[in-house]
Structure 1
Amino acid sequence: MEFGVSAFITDEGIGPAALGRALEERGFTSLFVAEHTHIPVKRESPWPGGAEMPRWYYRTFDPFVALTAVAAATERLRVGTGIALVIQRDPIILAKEVASLDRVSNGRAVLGVGAGWNREEMRNHGTDPRTRMALLRERVLAVKELWTKDEAAFHGEFVNFDPVFCYPKPVQDPHPPILVGGSGPTVFDRVIEYGDGWMPIYGRIPGDTAEQIARLRERAGRRVPVLMFGVPPKPQVIEELREAGVDEILFGIPTEPKDATLARLDKIAELISS
Protein backbone atom coordinates (compact mmCIF):
# COMPACT_ATOMS: atom_id res chain seq x y z
CA MET A 1 0.00 0.00 0.00
CA GLU A 2 1.17 3.52 -0.82
CA PHE A 3 0.38 6.75 1.00
CA GLY A 4 -0.31 10.18 -0.43
CA VAL A 5 -2.17 13.33 0.55
CA SER A 6 -5.27 15.09 -0.73
CA ALA A 7 -5.46 18.83 -0.15
CA PHE A 8 -7.04 22.15 -1.04
CA ILE A 9 -4.20 24.53 -1.89
CA THR A 10 -5.24 28.13 -1.26
CA ASP A 11 -3.85 31.58 -0.58
CA GLU A 12 -4.45 31.03 3.14
CA GLY A 13 -2.36 27.86 3.59
CA ILE A 14 1.03 26.37 2.86
CA GLY A 15 2.25 27.04 -0.67
CA PRO A 16 2.33 24.27 -3.27
CA ALA A 17 6.11 24.03 -3.64
CA ALA A 18 6.67 23.89 0.12
CA LEU A 19 3.94 21.26 0.50
CA GLY A 20 5.40 19.14 -2.29
CA ARG A 21 8.90 19.22 -0.82
CA ALA A 22 7.58 18.36 2.63
CA LEU A 23 5.66 15.37 1.30
CA GLU A 24 8.60 14.01 -0.67
CA GLU A 25 10.97 14.46 2.27
CA ARG A 26 8.62 12.42 4.47
CA GLY A 27 8.25 9.57 2.00
CA PHE A 28 4.75 10.21 0.68
CA THR A 29 4.14 9.02 -2.88
CA SER A 30 1.62 11.54 -4.20
CA LEU A 31 -0.26 14.81 -3.84
CA PHE A 32 -3.79 15.23 -5.21
CA VAL A 33 -5.31 18.71 -5.21
CA ALA A 34 -8.96 19.71 -5.41
CA GLU A 35 -10.54 22.09 -7.88
CA HIS A 36 -13.34 24.65 -7.72
CA THR A 37 -13.21 27.62 -10.05
CA HIS A 38 -15.54 29.51 -7.71
CA ILE A 39 -18.50 28.97 -5.39
CA PRO A 40 -21.68 30.95 -6.10
CA VAL A 41 -22.76 33.04 -3.11
CA LYS A 42 -26.36 31.91 -3.51
CA ARG A 43 -26.69 28.17 -4.02
CA GLU A 44 -29.15 25.38 -3.42
CA SER A 45 -26.74 22.47 -3.86
CA PRO A 46 -25.93 21.02 -0.44
CA TRP A 47 -22.28 20.37 0.35
CA PRO A 48 -21.87 16.56 0.49
CA GLY A 49 -19.45 16.82 3.41
CA GLY A 50 -21.92 18.16 5.95
CA ALA A 51 -23.75 21.28 7.02
CA GLU A 52 -21.21 24.07 6.54
CA MET A 53 -18.83 24.13 3.60
CA PRO A 54 -15.24 25.15 4.49
CA ARG A 55 -14.02 28.42 3.04
CA TRP A 56 -11.10 26.73 1.27
CA TYR A 57 -13.57 25.47 -1.36
CA TYR A 58 -13.77 28.93 -2.92
CA ARG A 59 -10.12 29.89 -2.44
CA THR A 60 -8.40 27.06 -4.32
CA PHE A 61 -5.55 27.73 -6.73
CA ASP A 62 -5.91 26.52 -10.27
CA PRO A 63 -4.88 22.88 -9.92
CA PHE A 64 -2.49 22.77 -12.86
CA VAL A 65 -0.66 25.93 -11.83
CA ALA A 66 -0.30 24.53 -8.30
CA LEU A 67 0.80 21.08 -9.49
CA THR A 68 3.38 22.59 -11.84
CA ALA A 69 4.91 24.37 -8.87
CA VAL A 70 4.89 21.09 -6.95
CA ALA A 71 6.47 19.20 -9.84
CA ALA A 72 9.24 21.76 -10.21
CA ALA A 73 10.08 21.47 -6.50
CA THR A 74 10.14 17.64 -6.36
CA GLU A 75 11.67 14.67 -8.17
CA ARG A 76 9.54 11.62 -7.34
CA LEU A 77 6.16 12.79 -6.04
CA ARG A 78 3.21 11.94 -8.28
CA VAL A 79 1.02 15.00 -8.91
CA GLY A 80 -2.69 14.64 -9.57
CA THR A 81 -6.09 16.29 -9.55
CA GLY A 82 -8.62 15.14 -7.00
CA ILE A 83 -10.69 15.93 -8.89
CA ALA A 84 -10.57 18.06 -12.04
CA LEU A 85 -14.06 19.30 -12.85
CA VAL A 86 -13.95 18.20 -16.47
CA ILE A 87 -17.52 19.36 -17.09
CA GLN A 88 -16.29 22.92 -16.50
CA ARG A 89 -13.21 22.64 -18.75
CA ASP A 90 -12.57 22.80 -22.47
CA PRO A 91 -11.23 19.33 -23.44
CA ILE A 92 -8.58 20.62 -25.86
CA ILE A 93 -7.14 22.96 -23.23
CA LEU A 94 -7.37 20.22 -20.59
CA ALA A 95 -5.46 17.79 -22.81
CA LYS A 96 -2.70 20.35 -23.31
CA GLU A 97 -2.54 21.26 -19.60
CA VAL A 98 -2.19 17.67 -18.41
CA ALA A 99 0.27 16.72 -21.14
CA SER A 100 2.35 19.81 -20.30
CA LEU A 101 2.29 18.87 -16.61
CA ASP A 102 3.36 15.34 -17.51
CA ARG A 103 6.29 16.77 -19.48
CA VAL A 104 7.31 19.22 -16.74
CA SER A 105 7.15 16.46 -14.12
CA ASN A 106 8.85 13.86 -16.34
CA GLY A 107 5.90 11.49 -16.32
CA ARG A 108 4.37 12.01 -12.87
CA ALA A 109 0.96 13.48 -13.78
CA VAL A 110 -2.34 11.81 -12.85
CA LEU A 111 -5.75 13.06 -13.96
CA GLY A 112 -8.51 12.48 -11.46
CA VAL A 113 -11.86 13.34 -13.04
CA GLY A 114 -15.43 13.87 -11.93
CA ALA A 115 -18.68 15.66 -12.65
CA GLY A 116 -18.93 17.66 -9.44
CA TRP A 117 -21.82 18.35 -7.07
CA ASN A 118 -22.38 22.11 -7.17
CA ARG A 119 -25.06 22.68 -9.78
CA GLU A 120 -24.90 26.47 -9.51
CA GLU A 121 -21.16 26.40 -10.17
CA MET A 122 -21.48 24.25 -13.27
CA ARG A 123 -24.34 26.35 -14.62
CA ASN A 124 -22.05 29.39 -14.48
CA HIS A 125 -19.86 27.53 -16.96
CA GLY A 126 -22.78 26.85 -19.29
CA THR A 127 -23.11 23.21 -18.20
CA ASP A 128 -26.54 21.65 -17.80
CA PRO A 129 -26.42 19.52 -14.61
CA ARG A 130 -28.88 17.06 -16.15
CA THR A 131 -26.43 16.04 -18.89
CA ARG A 132 -23.17 16.40 -16.99
CA MET A 133 -22.33 12.67 -16.93
CA ALA A 134 -22.67 12.39 -20.70
CA LEU A 135 -20.60 15.56 -21.06
CA LEU A 136 -17.93 14.17 -18.72
CA ARG A 137 -17.72 11.00 -20.79
CA GLU A 138 -17.26 12.76 -24.11
CA ARG A 139 -14.69 15.22 -22.80
CA VAL A 140 -12.57 12.48 -21.21
CA LEU A 141 -12.73 10.38 -24.38
CA ALA A 142 -11.78 13.44 -26.44
CA VAL A 143 -8.80 14.15 -24.18
CA LYS A 144 -7.58 10.58 -24.66
CA GLU A 145 -7.79 11.01 -28.43
CA LEU A 146 -5.82 14.25 -28.24
CA TRP A 147 -3.14 12.58 -26.13
CA THR A 148 -2.70 9.49 -28.27
CA LYS A 149 -3.32 10.51 -31.91
CA ASP A 150 -1.10 12.66 -34.11
CA GLU A 151 -4.19 13.90 -35.90
CA ALA A 152 -6.96 13.72 -33.34
CA ALA A 153 -10.66 14.13 -34.07
CA PHE A 154 -13.84 13.67 -32.08
CA HIS A 155 -17.49 13.82 -33.06
CA GLY A 156 -20.06 13.52 -30.30
CA GLU A 157 -23.16 15.20 -28.99
CA PHE A 158 -21.25 17.67 -26.80
CA VAL A 159 -17.69 17.61 -28.17
CA ASN A 160 -17.06 18.01 -31.87
CA PHE A 161 -13.87 18.78 -33.78
CA ASP A 162 -12.24 17.65 -37.02
CA PRO A 163 -8.61 16.41 -37.09
CA VAL A 164 -6.22 18.65 -35.18
CA PHE A 165 -2.57 18.73 -34.16
CA CYS A 166 -2.35 19.03 -30.38
CA TYR A 167 1.01 18.93 -28.63
CA PRO A 168 2.86 18.22 -26.45
CA LYS A 169 1.98 14.56 -26.02
CA PRO A 170 2.35 13.11 -22.52
CA VAL A 171 5.50 11.31 -21.40
CA GLN A 172 3.56 8.36 -20.01
CA ASP A 173 2.53 5.63 -22.41
CA PRO A 174 -0.21 5.53 -23.53
CA HIS A 175 -1.14 8.52 -21.35
CA PRO A 176 -1.34 9.72 -17.72
CA PRO A 177 -3.62 7.53 -15.59
CA ILE A 178 -7.25 8.64 -15.46
CA LEU A 179 -8.84 8.06 -12.07
CA VAL A 180 -12.61 8.30 -11.89
CA GLY A 181 -14.03 9.89 -8.76
CA GLY A 182 -17.44 9.31 -7.22
CA SER A 183 -19.42 6.50 -5.66
CA GLY A 184 -22.84 6.73 -7.30
CA PRO A 185 -24.73 3.84 -8.87
CA THR A 186 -23.14 4.26 -12.32
CA VAL A 187 -19.55 5.04 -11.33
CA PHE A 188 -18.29 1.54 -12.20
CA ASP A 189 -19.57 2.01 -15.75
CA ARG A 190 -17.38 5.09 -16.08
CA VAL A 191 -14.32 3.42 -14.52
CA ILE A 192 -14.60 0.42 -16.83
CA GLU A 193 -15.22 2.42 -20.00
CA TYR A 194 -12.62 5.17 -19.77
CA GLY A 195 -10.84 5.01 -16.42
CA ASP A 196 -7.56 3.51 -15.28
CA GLY A 197 -8.61 3.45 -11.62
CA TRP A 198 -11.25 4.40 -9.07
CA MET A 199 -10.86 7.23 -6.54
CA PRO A 200 -13.83 7.35 -4.15
CA ILE A 201 -14.05 9.54 -1.06
CA TYR A 202 -13.66 7.73 2.24
CA GLY A 203 -16.95 7.29 4.08
CA ARG A 204 -19.18 7.87 1.06
CA ILE A 205 -19.17 4.40 -0.49
CA PRO A 206 -22.58 2.74 -0.10
CA GLY A 207 -22.33 -0.70 1.45
CA ASP A 208 -19.19 -2.64 2.33
CA THR A 209 -16.01 -1.17 0.84
CA ALA A 210 -14.28 -4.51 0.31
CA GLU A 211 -17.33 -5.95 -1.43
CA GLN A 212 -17.63 -2.93 -3.71
CA ILE A 213 -13.97 -3.08 -4.71
CA ALA A 214 -14.23 -6.81 -5.40
CA ARG A 215 -17.37 -6.24 -7.48
CA LEU A 216 -15.66 -3.54 -9.56
CA ARG A 217 -12.67 -5.75 -10.29
CA GLU A 218 -14.88 -8.71 -11.16
CA ARG A 219 -16.94 -6.61 -13.58
CA ALA A 220 -13.83 -5.10 -15.15
CA GLY A 221 -12.05 -8.44 -15.50
CA ARG A 222 -8.86 -6.87 -14.14
CA ARG A 223 -7.38 -5.59 -10.91
CA VAL A 224 -8.54 -1.98 -11.10
CA PRO A 225 -6.34 0.25 -8.92
CA VAL A 226 -8.22 1.95 -6.09
CA LEU A 227 -7.07 5.15 -4.40
CA MET A 228 -9.11 6.19 -1.39
CA PHE A 229 -9.51 9.97 -1.13
CA GLY A 230 -9.81 12.04 2.06
CA VAL A 231 -8.82 9.32 4.54
CA PRO A 232 -8.46 10.21 8.24
CA PRO A 233 -5.03 9.29 9.67
CA LYS A 234 -6.16 6.53 12.04
CA PRO A 235 -4.51 3.10 12.39
CA GLN A 236 -7.80 1.20 12.33
CA VAL A 237 -8.88 2.97 9.15
CA ILE A 238 -5.58 2.19 7.43
CA GLU A 239 -5.89 -1.48 8.32
CA GLU A 240 -9.54 -1.56 7.23
CA LEU A 241 -8.64 -0.17 3.81
CA ARG A 242 -5.61 -2.44 3.44
CA GLU A 243 -7.82 -5.47 4.02
CA ALA A 244 -10.41 -4.13 1.59
CA GLY A 245 -7.84 -4.10 -1.22
CA VAL A 246 -7.14 -0.36 -1.49
CA ASP A 247 -3.86 0.32 -3.31
CA GLU A 248 -3.19 3.85 -2.11
CA ILE A 249 -4.50 5.97 0.74
CA LEU A 250 -4.78 9.73 0.29
CA PHE A 251 -4.87 11.33 3.71
CA GLY A 252 -7.10 14.39 3.75
CA ILE A 253 -5.44 17.39 5.36
CA PRO A 254 -7.05 20.75 6.14
CA THR A 255 -5.77 24.02 4.69
CA GLU A 256 -3.38 25.45 7.28
CA PRO A 257 -0.26 27.66 7.38
CA LYS A 258 3.13 26.08 6.76
CA ASP A 259 4.18 25.32 10.33
CA ALA A 260 0.87 23.71 11.26
CA THR A 261 0.88 21.67 8.05
CA LEU A 262 4.42 20.40 8.61
CA ALA A 263 3.57 19.37 12.15
CA ARG A 264 0.51 17.50 10.88
CA LEU A 265 2.53 15.74 8.17
CA ASP A 266 5.13 14.69 10.75
CA LYS A 267 2.41 12.96 12.77
CA ILE A 268 0.98 11.18 9.73
CA ALA A 269 4.45 10.09 8.59
CA GLU A 270 5.15 8.69 12.04
CA LEU A 271 1.84 6.82 11.94
CA ILE A 272 2.46 5.12 8.60
CA SER A 273 6.08 4.27 9.41
CA SER A 274 4.90 2.34 12.45
Structure 2
Amino acid sequence: MTNFRIGVMYDRDWVPEELPAFARRAEALGADDLWVVEDLRWNGGVSAAAVALGATERLRVGIGIAPAPLRSPALLAMELATLARVFPSRLVAGIGHGVREWMEQVGVAPRSPLALLEETITAVRALLHGERVTVDGREVRIDGIELVHPPAEPPPLVAGVVRSRSLELSGRVADGTLIAEGHGPRDLERIRALL
Protein backbone atom coordinates (compact mmCIF):
# COMPACT_ATOMS: atom_id res chain seq x y z
CA MET A 1 0.00 0.00 0.00
CA THR A 2 1.25 3.48 -0.85
CA ASN A 3 1.69 6.00 1.94
CA PHE A 4 -0.11 9.24 1.28
CA ARG A 5 -1.02 12.36 3.18
CA ILE A 6 -4.27 14.29 3.11
CA GLY A 7 -3.99 18.03 3.30
CA VAL A 8 -6.39 20.94 3.34
CA MET A 9 -5.92 24.66 2.78
CA TYR A 10 -7.28 27.50 4.87
CA ASP A 11 -8.52 29.91 2.23
CA ARG A 12 -6.97 33.36 2.33
CA ASP A 13 -10.42 35.00 2.26
CA TRP A 14 -11.49 33.36 5.51
CA VAL A 15 -11.01 35.49 8.63
CA PRO A 16 -8.01 34.68 10.85
CA GLU A 17 -10.02 34.28 14.05
CA GLU A 18 -11.70 31.16 12.63
CA LEU A 19 -8.38 29.44 11.87
CA PRO A 20 -7.95 27.72 15.28
CA ALA A 21 -11.36 26.00 15.10
CA PHE A 22 -10.78 25.05 11.43
CA ALA A 23 -7.38 23.54 12.28
CA ARG A 24 -8.79 21.54 15.20
CA ARG A 25 -11.65 20.27 13.04
CA ALA A 26 -9.31 19.28 10.20
CA GLU A 27 -7.13 17.40 12.68
CA ALA A 28 -10.15 15.67 14.26
CA LEU A 29 -11.31 14.53 10.80
CA GLY A 30 -7.93 12.93 10.10
CA ALA A 31 -6.20 15.48 7.89
CA ASP A 32 -2.42 15.19 7.96
CA ASP A 33 -1.55 18.66 6.70
CA LEU A 34 -3.01 22.14 6.82
CA TRP A 35 -1.70 24.79 4.47
CA VAL A 36 -2.02 28.46 5.34
CA VAL A 37 -1.73 31.14 2.69
CA GLU A 38 0.52 34.18 2.69
CA ASP A 39 -0.54 36.76 0.15
CA LEU A 40 0.04 40.49 0.38
CA ARG A 41 -2.86 42.22 2.17
CA TRP A 42 -4.37 38.98 3.52
CA ASN A 43 -2.69 37.05 6.36
CA GLY A 44 0.91 36.57 7.38
CA GLY A 45 1.93 32.97 6.74
CA VAL A 46 4.27 32.58 9.72
CA SER A 47 1.74 34.01 12.18
CA ALA A 48 -1.06 31.90 10.67
CA ALA A 49 1.13 28.81 10.95
CA ALA A 50 1.82 29.62 14.61
CA VAL A 51 -1.92 29.95 15.27
CA ALA A 52 -2.70 26.60 13.59
CA LEU A 53 0.19 24.78 15.25
CA GLY A 54 -0.78 26.11 18.66
CA ALA A 55 -4.39 25.01 18.20
CA THR A 56 -3.54 21.40 17.28
CA GLU A 57 -1.48 18.49 18.55
CA ARG A 58 -0.26 16.52 15.53
CA LEU A 59 -1.29 18.41 12.38
CA ARG A 60 1.60 19.35 10.09
CA VAL A 61 1.26 22.96 8.95
CA GLY A 62 2.65 24.32 5.71
CA ILE A 63 3.27 27.93 4.85
CA GLY A 64 2.17 28.48 1.28
CA ILE A 65 3.91 30.56 0.18
CA ALA A 66 6.18 33.15 1.86
CA PRO A 67 7.34 35.62 -0.82
CA ALA A 68 11.13 35.83 -0.71
CA PRO A 69 11.16 39.56 -1.61
CA LEU A 70 9.06 40.43 1.46
CA ARG A 71 11.33 38.70 3.96
CA SER A 72 14.91 38.93 4.98
CA PRO A 73 16.33 35.38 4.92
CA ALA A 74 17.71 35.93 8.43
CA LEU A 75 14.32 37.00 9.82
CA LEU A 76 12.52 34.19 8.02
CA ALA A 77 15.01 31.66 9.41
CA MET A 78 14.54 33.07 12.93
CA GLU A 79 10.75 32.75 12.67
CA LEU A 80 10.90 29.25 11.20
CA ALA A 81 13.42 28.13 13.81
CA THR A 82 11.13 29.28 16.61
CA LEU A 83 8.19 27.32 15.20
CA ALA A 84 10.33 24.25 14.44
CA ARG A 85 11.68 24.18 18.02
CA VAL A 86 8.28 24.61 19.67
CA PHE A 87 6.47 22.28 17.23
CA PRO A 88 9.12 19.78 16.04
CA SER A 89 8.40 17.85 12.83
CA ARG A 90 5.16 19.76 12.25
CA LEU A 91 6.20 22.60 9.94
CA VAL A 92 6.81 22.87 6.20
CA ALA A 93 8.02 26.23 4.90
CA GLY A 94 7.04 27.27 1.41
CA ILE A 95 9.06 30.06 -0.18
CA GLY A 96 8.34 31.60 -3.57
CA HIS A 97 8.79 34.61 -5.80
CA GLY A 98 5.65 36.43 -4.76
CA VAL A 99 3.30 38.05 -7.24
CA ARG A 100 5.43 40.54 -9.18
CA GLU A 101 2.80 43.31 -9.14
CA TRP A 102 2.39 43.00 -5.38
CA MET A 103 6.14 43.07 -4.83
CA GLU A 104 6.31 46.24 -6.96
CA GLN A 105 3.51 47.80 -4.88
CA VAL A 106 5.66 47.59 -1.75
CA GLY A 107 8.97 48.39 -3.42
CA VAL A 108 10.67 45.01 -3.05
CA ALA A 109 10.56 43.57 -6.58
CA PRO A 110 14.01 42.05 -7.16
CA ARG A 111 16.15 42.57 -10.25
CA SER A 112 16.54 38.80 -10.49
CA PRO A 113 13.68 36.80 -8.95
CA LEU A 114 15.53 33.53 -9.65
CA ALA A 115 18.70 34.69 -7.89
CA LEU A 116 16.69 35.99 -4.94
CA LEU A 117 14.78 32.73 -4.51
CA GLU A 118 17.89 30.57 -4.77
CA GLU A 119 19.92 32.78 -2.42
CA THR A 120 17.04 32.95 0.06
CA ILE A 121 16.39 29.20 0.19
CA THR A 122 20.11 28.46 0.45
CA ALA A 123 20.67 31.01 3.24
CA VAL A 124 17.57 30.01 5.21
CA ARG A 125 18.53 26.33 5.00
CA ALA A 126 22.07 26.99 6.21
CA LEU A 127 20.83 29.17 9.09
CA LEU A 128 18.31 26.53 10.14
CA HIS A 129 21.12 23.96 10.18
CA GLY A 130 23.07 26.11 12.64
CA GLU A 131 25.67 27.36 10.18
CA ARG A 132 27.29 30.78 10.28
CA VAL A 133 26.16 32.39 7.04
CA THR A 134 27.77 35.00 4.86
CA VAL A 135 26.20 35.72 1.48
CA ASP A 136 27.24 38.39 -0.99
CA GLY A 137 24.88 37.43 -3.78
CA ARG A 138 23.07 39.19 -6.57
CA GLU A 139 20.07 39.87 -4.29
CA VAL A 140 20.90 38.72 -0.75
CA ARG A 141 23.51 40.17 1.61
CA ILE A 142 24.22 38.52 4.96
CA ASP A 143 27.40 39.08 6.95
CA GLY A 144 28.30 36.38 9.47
CA ILE A 145 24.87 35.57 10.91
CA GLU A 146 24.30 32.42 12.97
CA LEU A 147 21.11 31.51 14.82
CA VAL A 148 21.49 31.19 18.59
CA HIS A 149 18.64 28.64 18.73
CA PRO A 150 18.55 26.64 15.50
CA PRO A 151 16.07 23.75 15.52
CA ALA A 152 17.27 20.21 16.17
CA GLU A 153 15.25 19.17 13.13
CA PRO A 154 15.02 21.91 10.50
CA PRO A 155 11.71 22.02 8.63
CA PRO A 156 11.59 21.14 4.95
CA LEU A 157 11.87 24.12 2.63
CA VAL A 158 9.69 23.81 -0.44
CA ALA A 159 9.65 26.20 -3.38
CA GLY A 160 6.27 27.48 -4.44
CA VAL A 161 6.89 27.86 -8.17
CA VAL A 162 5.32 27.02 -11.54
CA ARG A 163 7.49 28.39 -14.37
CA SER A 164 10.15 26.28 -16.09
CA ARG A 165 13.33 27.94 -14.79
CA SER A 166 11.88 28.21 -11.30
CA LEU A 167 10.95 24.52 -11.32
CA GLU A 168 14.52 23.64 -12.33
CA LEU A 169 15.78 25.82 -9.48
CA SER A 170 13.41 24.08 -7.05
CA GLY A 171 14.75 20.70 -8.11
CA ARG A 172 18.29 21.90 -7.31
CA VAL A 173 17.87 23.75 -4.02
CA ALA A 174 14.52 22.95 -2.35
CA ASP A 175 13.30 19.94 -0.40
CA GLY A 176 10.16 19.83 -2.52
CA THR A 177 7.91 21.86 -4.76
CA LEU A 178 4.51 23.27 -3.98
CA ILE A 179 2.39 23.84 -7.06
CA ALA A 180 -0.12 26.63 -6.61
CA GLU A 181 -3.81 26.31 -7.34
CA GLY A 182 -4.73 26.45 -10.99
CA HIS A 183 -2.27 23.71 -11.95
CA GLY A 184 -3.37 20.11 -11.99
CA PRO A 185 -2.68 16.63 -13.36
CA ARG A 186 -2.19 17.86 -16.95
CA ASP A 187 0.76 19.94 -15.75
CA LEU A 188 2.48 17.24 -13.67
CA GLU A 189 4.38 15.48 -16.44
CA ARG A 190 6.05 18.74 -17.53
CA ILE A 191 6.64 19.78 -13.90
CA ARG A 192 8.27 16.47 -12.95
CA ALA A 193 10.56 16.59 -15.97
CA LEU A 194 11.75 20.08 -15.09
CA LEU A 195 12.33 19.20 -11.44
Work out which of the residue numbers 132, 148, 157 in structure 2 matches 1:151: 132
- What SS does the aligned partner of 1:111 have? strand
Tell me the residue number matched to 1:135.
116
Deviations 1:81-129 (A, max 9, x none): 111111211111100011111112122110111112242x212443235
Matching of residues 70-89 of structure 1 within 5 Å: 70-89=52-71
Is the CA contact (8 Å cut-off) linking 1:107 and 1:170 kept in structure 2? no
| Residue 20 of structure 1: how far off its partner (Å) | 1.2
Q: Which amino acid aligns with 1:212?
A: R
Question: Taking structure 1 as the reference length, what is the TM-score of the superposition?
Answer: 0.63
Q: Which amino acid aligns with 1:215?
A: A
* Identical pairs, percent: 31
Work out which of the residue numbers 164, 172, 181 in structure 1 matches 2:145: 164
Tell me the residue number matched to 1:61.
43
Tell me the residue number matched to 1:12.
15
Matching of residues 1-274 of structure 1 within 5 Å: 1-9=4-12, 12=15, 15-38=18-41, 60-119=42-101, 121-128=102-109, 130-172=111-153, 175-204=154-183, 208-212=186-190, 214-216=192-194
Change (3 A) 1:16 1:191: same
| Residue 214 of structure 1: how far off its partner (Å) | 4.6
Question: Taking structure 2 as the reference length, what is the TM-score of the superposition?
Answer: 0.86
- What SS does the aligned partner of 1:169 have? coil
Is the CA contact (8 Å cut-off) linking 2:9 and 2:34 kept in structure 1? yes
| Alpha-carbon distance between aligned partners in 2 of 1:150 and 1:63, rounded to the nearest angstrom | 25
Q: Which amino acid aligns with 1:162?
A: D
Aligned residue-pair number: 192
| Alpha-carbon distance between aligned partners in 2 of 1:109 and 1:142, rounded to the nearest angstrom | 18
Change (3 A) 1:124 1:101: same
Is the CA contact (8 Å cut-off) linking 2:62 and 2:94 kept in structure 1? yes
- What SS does the aligned partner of 2:6 have? strand
Change (3 A) 1:151 1:116: closer
| Alpha-carbon distance between aligned partners in 2 of 1:210 and 1:3, rounded to the nearest angstrom | 18
**Stretches of structure 2 lacking an aligned partner (at least 5 in a row):** none
Tell me the residue number matched to 1:248.
none
Is the CA contact (8 Å cut-off) linking 2:12 and 2:39 kept in structure 1? no
Give the number of the structure whose alpha-carbon radius of gyration is greater. Answer: 1
Change (3 A) 1:182 1:150: closer
**Stretches of structure 1 lacking an aligned partner (at least 5 in a row):** 39-59, 221-274
